[in-house]
Chains A and B, each alone.
Chain A
């Protein structure tokens, strides 16, 4: 019977045996349920932890690295920046509106738990092709969920990305990044301390929603729980109760109340309730503080009658926080909460750790003097989950199977170009991206640019830039180099805003870790991220791993999503961005390798061999670093009129986006063929300038290739020998692509 229960809860037989050995006795049902959620893949990172250690996380400006609720970086002027990225892929696949909405809610709590006021959200979204009605439903649901929750809770969504690939059909990626700011002195950690202090549960009451969200839903393939059919079939319907339901108004009041409590110094520690609910919040705060905690489960306010203790302890009901407070401050805490109409209940007490420093015990009681329902070492739940070195095996190399095929060159690339441009404003116009008067550059450019300002923050002229990037095509061909190219692109995006990249976060989206090929991809991705972050001196201050992403029984292509934060020392004027000024010159900084491997052109317009494989064009991280530094300097010095990095869609799409966003045509020459036009070889930036000689000289002295591309002028986009389209047609294609596809028109 016991075996049946632990398997149903997502624990393996070995894990169940390990729990019994930790306790020195068989666990009861409640204890088993608590271990099951804490030792889930989602909470414990048991398959990835071994590999994640290879990511560099040290840096001069790093105040808090991975392992806390959010990474924190010193931004100067007494201001710190907290940043975190997380996935909500599985809930969004089942119930897109609530899945995405609670993804936003959860990450906001992670950030204000650190004492930071969230000032920006970014979303990195990926879906299957929109000719499938279910994928359209998922896209509309996810975007409305982010819009409905994020706008209402009052945190601007300042950017992100949206992409499409068959590998995400039915299993969308919904990665949410949140950035917050705080006076350095307000930094708090999620830890309990002070024996006799009280654990106060703030916010929403606890219901039956989200029970087992981290274990059953986020840490297994859908096929395992359903009938083996695709997730669009009946299997997913039965999982809907595992998806939480969000209430942004509750979250808004909770956020304001918590920041006020932190400002007033009324709490000694605070922790959000997310995955694994109360079990996670109590065991993690106790384990971090080396203390124990008694939890009175009967004191937890409930939404529904007759809830079992295991339901209360593992519910993932949203909009809840756990505050550790000294008894003398309780009445003032209750006053602040009452003013914000936030419910607050004392549900726990901090108890001593073991005299030998071995940490304390988490006990669940039915009333302070009632029965002991569970009694486990807090650290066993929070820290002692097994670490797996799962088998890894490289798949048959795609590069060898399908090398770049020689094919007839195309002489008219106009139609290809029109097919590859797409304005994402259908998505981001549904998000409030201007709130707080910080948004100097919103969505649609290379990076979002924000003023570094919030109520209670020291005055500063500094600004920051933020970019999220991911590319499954590159990582499918070569997870290691693809991951490195992703970091490189993100850093370059931030540089295009004149910001020095200072920190990164990553969200690794992969398939089933029990497949050796997926574990190999994970390991390669981590190595690629590590190489690039080391070369660019970018500490990884936090991250998230989402495994078991499978579509129609197939693992998704490895998709590391990277967020990079950059700092601008003085943000006092508008940035050049995607601007062309008629009569000015266009330069290409960096060298183009004429290869279509991994390109969007190959995936969407190619045929035969070129669409499938090949070897990625090379990335030289030393050259890339020099380019990043040069671009930061050029923008800070105000010597470029406009600029855009070359990435998705290659030089062709970069030129088209520059033209359409500035409403000015251009004439480019010297681009040899369509492989050069659509190659996605890294480390390239197009600049528009009135002083091409000066910039070319600076590029050469930095050791970078530089070439004259042409001139901005007229109302056509001309690439001599390859493209000649009217700006009006380009704009029409750019504007209509996404709305047409969302509406099911093709």
Chain B
């Protein structure tokens, strides 16, 4: 059975169709969820896509966290549902308090759209379930506010609890500890600045993002995520396709 992924659309989101395409291209089902929705019961996983929710006015994510759908997202996550925030979605999750820290303007104070190398770390996150720690992925980034920051105590926790999902190999934006993505304590809520959906098809220059998105298309069987991770991890070069 393939996973059903809900993609939340705020006014001003712009990567929602891209996420739908990538999920469907990888064999999953996806549907758009309007930000006014008060329930997300029919999906197995949720993506908060990139873009400029509510125009990023005030601050990225600062208004989106008040959208009605966010209560539903919060209870979906509390019940163990998988939630991935990509780029602007990551910003929304931090503003909503579902992930710690904040994303501030890039070190060079310019918008940056390019493809970077990202190293997958050993973490409790669902999104890296199929990727071996140390795997280097080529993933697009596209942000002005991607410079992750947090309190020193929070950083210590993130490290100690294996909650840093991915690090930049060559830090493009000034993020603390080269952080490109983090997860919550339960490992079911993940924020990533890079866009895995932009790298799901080799025709676009990289298919390295597929290994991340497949975790939502193919939900783990059985109860133990750890066991599944052991079984599912596939050796091989970055971006190798799993069957």
Contact = CB atoms under 8 A, between A and B. Distances in A.
Interface of A: 147-148, 151-152, 154, 247-250, 252-253, 340-341, 425, 428-437, 439-440, 451, 455, 571-574
A249 B12 CA distance: 6
Contacts of A455: 17
B22 A437 contact: yes
Q: A-B pairs with the 4 shortest C-beta distances?
A: A249-B55, A154-B14, A152-B52, A430-B111
A252 B14 contact: yes
Given A152-B12, A340-B11, A429-B114, A437 B56 contact: no
B178 interface: no
Contact of B11 (A252, A430, A434, A451): A252
Given A152-B12, A451-B203, A431 B113 contact: yes
A432 B12 contact: no
A571 B204 CA distance: 11
Q: Looking at chain B, what size class is its interface with the partner chain?
A: 20 to 34
A690 to B, nearest CB: 22
A437 B54 contact: no
Contacts of A152: 12, 52, 55-56
A434 B18 CA distance: 10
Contacts of B54: 249
B21 interface: yes
Nearest to A454: B17
Contacts of A436: 17-18
Given A252-B11, A252-B14, A437 B142 contact: no
A231 B139 CA distance: 44
B113 A437 contact: no
A437 B196 CA distance: 11
A435 B18 contact: yes
Interface string B108-151: 00111110000000000000000000000000101010000000
Given A152-B55, A439-B204, A574-B202, A430 B140 contact: no
Given A249-B57, A252-B12, A455-B17, A430 B52 contact: no
Given A147-B110, A151-B144, A430-B111, 12 more contacts: A151-B52, A152-B55, A152-B56, A248-B52, A252-B52, A431-B113, A434-B204, A436-B17, A437-B204, A439-B204, A440-B204, A440-B205
Nearest to B36: A339
A288 to B, nearest CB: 32
Nearest to A248: B55
B145 to A, nearest CB: 12
9 contacts: A151-B113, A154-B12, A253-B12, A429-B112, A431-B113, A434-B195, A434-B204, A435-B15, A574-B202
B14 A435 contact: yes
A424 to B, nearest CB: 13
A437 B198 contact: yes
B208 interface: no
Contacts of A432: 111, 113, 142
Contacts of A341: 11
B11 A253 contact: yes
Contacts of A434: 113, 140, 142, 195, 198, 204
Interface in B189-222: 195, 197-198, 200-205
Nearest to A155: B14
B85 interface: no
A437 B52 contact: no
A220 to B, nearest CB: 34
Contact of A440 (B11, B12, B52, B203): B203
B51 interface: yes
A509 B119 CA distance: 48
Nearest to B197: A437
Contacts of A451: 203
Contacts of A148: 111
Contacts of B200: 437
A430 B113 CA distance: 6
A440 B201 CA distance: 10
Interface in B39-76: 51-52, 54-57
A440 B11 CA distance: 27
A275 B239 CA distance: 49
Contacts of A440: 203-205
A320 to B, nearest CB: 17
A249 B17 CA distance: 18
A187 to B, nearest CB: 22
Most buried by B among A151, A247, A252, A434: A434
A147 B12 contact: no
A248 B57 CA distance: 11
A437 B55 contact: no
Contacts of B112: 429-430
Contacts of B113: 151, 428-434
B55 A574 contact: no
Contacts of B17: 436, 455
Contacts of B56: 152, 249
A253 B57 CA distance: 14
Given A151-B111, A152-B52, A436-B18, A574 B142 contact: no
B142 A573 contact: no
Contacts of B22: 437
Contacts of A252: 11-12, 14, 52, 55
Given A152-B56, A154-B14, A437 B140 contact: no
A573 B203 CA distance: 6
B107 to A, nearest CB: 14
A147 B198 contact: no
A19 to B, nearest CB: 42
B10 to A, nearest CB: 11
A451 B205 CA distance: 13
Nearest to B112: A429
A428 B115 CA distance: 13
B201 A437 contact: yes
Nearest to A441: B205
B110 to A, nearest CB: 6
A574 B205 CA distance: 8
Interface in B217-242: none
Contacts of A340: 11
A154 B55 CA distance: 10
Contact of B52 (A154, A425, A428, A571): A154
A440 B205 CA distance: 7
Contacts of A151: 52, 111, 113, 142, 144
Nearest to A451: B203
A152 B113 CA distance: 13
A433 B15 CA distance: 13
B81 to A, nearest CB: 26
A457 B206 CA distance: 24
